[in-house]
A and B are shown apart, each in its own frame.
Chain A
Amino acid sequence: SQQGEEDPQALSIQEGENATMNCSYKTSINNLQWYRQNSGRGLVHLILIRSNEREKHSGRLRVTLDTSKKSSSLLITASRAADTASYFCATVLSSGSARQLTFGSGTQLTVLP
């Protein structure tokens, strides 16, 4: 079974609106990362949050982490049509290799112009 599960599976919003995606995981982590995948392309790293951090910002991205609930959220503010993509959370487990990522199932975001 997958470590991370994103919800919603699909999200459709208007340009300019904010988009929020959630990720839940099962076992203790070292860090959690978010990746974006445009259709037909490879994944691109967006942001990393460590287990001792609660919130992190990067440009229009805001990530939160709640280790007590084993969940994270990714907020994209003022969305643009170019943000249309699939977004995946990925975890590095506390007990495993520091290099090994376990990916969730992804959220397909569509931003309508």
Chain B
Amino acid sequence: DAGVIQSPRHEVTEMGQEVTLRCKPISGHNSLFWYRQTMMRGLELLIYFNNNVPIDDSGMPEDRFSAKMPNASFSTLKIQPSEPRDSAVYFCASSSPTAYNEQFFGPGTRLTVL
């Protein structure tokens, strides 16, 4: 079975540009999580969805960040405009309705904003 798929794996962009990160959760999973990992702040939960509905977005740093989940198999995290301090590895994770305690992580997108 395919795991959580994220694209792109690496993204280099210039300050002020719009960045869109994509995630495909594991089929049948109904919860999806976006995390950001940096050396300074560790692994932070940005937002999570349950049955495509955003449940908690309190971790989204500011209005420049937005996330959508238009259907059960796709989610995006958008940063507009991007800033150098947004440079980090962004992970998407999903969990199933029956074993919701265990999260399955994608390989991450390494974002560099110059």
Contact = CB atoms under 8 A, between A and B. Distances in A.
A100 B105 contact: no
Nearest to B44: A103
Contact of B42 (A31, A92, A104): A104
Interface in A56-96: 88, 92
Contacts of A88: 43
A42 B9 CA distance: 12
Tier of interface size on chain B: 20 to 34
Contact of A97 (B55, B103, B106): B55
A48 interface: yes
Interface in B31-61: 31, 33, 42-43, 45, 48, 50, 55-56
Interface string B79-114: 000000000000101010000111111111000000
A49 B65 CA distance: 34
Contact of B50 (A48, A92, A99, A105): A99
A44 interface: yes
B105 A48 contact: no
Interface in A11-54: 31, 33, 41-45, 48
Interface of B: 4, 31, 33, 42-43, 45, 48, 50, 55-56, 91, 93, 95, 100-108
